[in-house]
Amino acid sequence: MMCELFAMSANQPTDVEKYLSLLMPRGGKTGPHADGWGIAYYEGRASRVFKDAAPAAESRYLAMLARAGLKSTSVVAHIRKANPSVIGRATANTHPFEREWNGYSWVFAHNGKLPGIESLKPQRYSRFQPLGGTDSEQAFCRIMNVLSRNIMWGESTTSERIIEVVRPVVKQLSKLGEFNFILSNGEYTLVHAHTNLHALEHSAGTSHNAICVLATAPLTDEAWQALAPGSIHVYKAGRTVGMLDA
């Protein structure tokens, strides 16, 4: 078993307490993901990232956040199972990772394992470097380096443009192992369902409130849909705005 991912995209600020309360026990109680947790709430272009290298199921800090009523249009969360275990519990190894680029805070969370990533050819332009020892953060930095190299500073990006730019590096890294991930800048949420990721799209209250929730495994009895293995999806304001089949 590896890590578990969670994300939410909505067109109105939304509370995710319901889903966080169901995700928490998987972090060391009902699931083995006991090596840390993290959650990013967006406020416009800026993210508020909270993380801890302790088990989510035992965290009073996370329980407090879940009950705090924080609302956002974009949320990314992660509960971690260190794999290999030698890359142990540390803040630097806890997802989601965050970097600033093009005036946005970008966050990234990964489920899987990418053996051999450290042996890949160094990128020609490497503005972004990892702080910890995980293959996940190395993958994030590679994606961010590709984005910053191919999209001009200040350029207005579309979902199609983001997919076009990141697709080659996603394809390269997917050959190494398992590469399910969520990448967000608060406006767009891009997910790669390499092997296992589920989505739940619904309205809250009225048809004008669009919400999409994503998780490694369904968190409720609602009608979650398994995303096609190898597919890339982009969400904005609770709706699918871009997709690339495997």
pLDDT along the chain (246 residues), means of 10: 90 94 90 91 96 92 90 96 78 96 95 94 85 96 94 80 94 97 97 97 70 97 96 96 86
Quote the CA–CA distance of 203 and 110 in Å, as a whole number: 27
- Of 16, 51, 69, the residue nearest 220 (C-alpha): 16
Instruction: Give the domain range for residue 96.
Output: 4-244
- Of 236, 245, 197, 202, the residue nearest 9 (C-alpha): 236
46-52/225-226 β-pairing: unpaired
Phi, then psi, of 58 in degrees rounded to 5: -105, 5
The answer to whether the CB of 162 falls within 8 A of the CB of 242 is yes
How big is the CA angle at 45 (ends 41 and 47), to the nearest 5 degrees? 30
What local confidence, expressed as pLDDT, does residue 116 receive? 95
Q: Is 141 a catalytic residue?
A: no
What local confidence, expressed as pLDDT, does residue 209 receive? 84
The answer to whether the CB of 51 falls within 8 A of the CB of 36 is yes
Count: domains in the chain: 1
For the domain that residue 213 is a member of, what is the CATH number?
A: 3.60.20.10
Q: Determine which one of 3, 7, 40, 107 is catalytic.
A: 3
What local confidence, expressed as pLDDT, does residue 125 receive? 74
Who contacts 68 (Cβ-Cβ below 8 Å, separation ≥6)? none
What local confidence, expressed as pLDDT, does residue 206 receive? 54
**In 6-122, which ranges are continuous DSSP H helix?**
17-23, 60-67
Phi, then psi, of 96 in degrees rounded to 5: -75, 150
- Of 49, 27, 147, 57, the residue nearest 96 (C-alpha): 49
Query: pLDDT per residue over 148-194, tens digit each?
Result: 999 877 777 889 999 999 999 999 999 999 999 999 999 999 999 99
How big is the CA angle at 181 (ends 129 and 230), to the nearest 5 degrees? 125
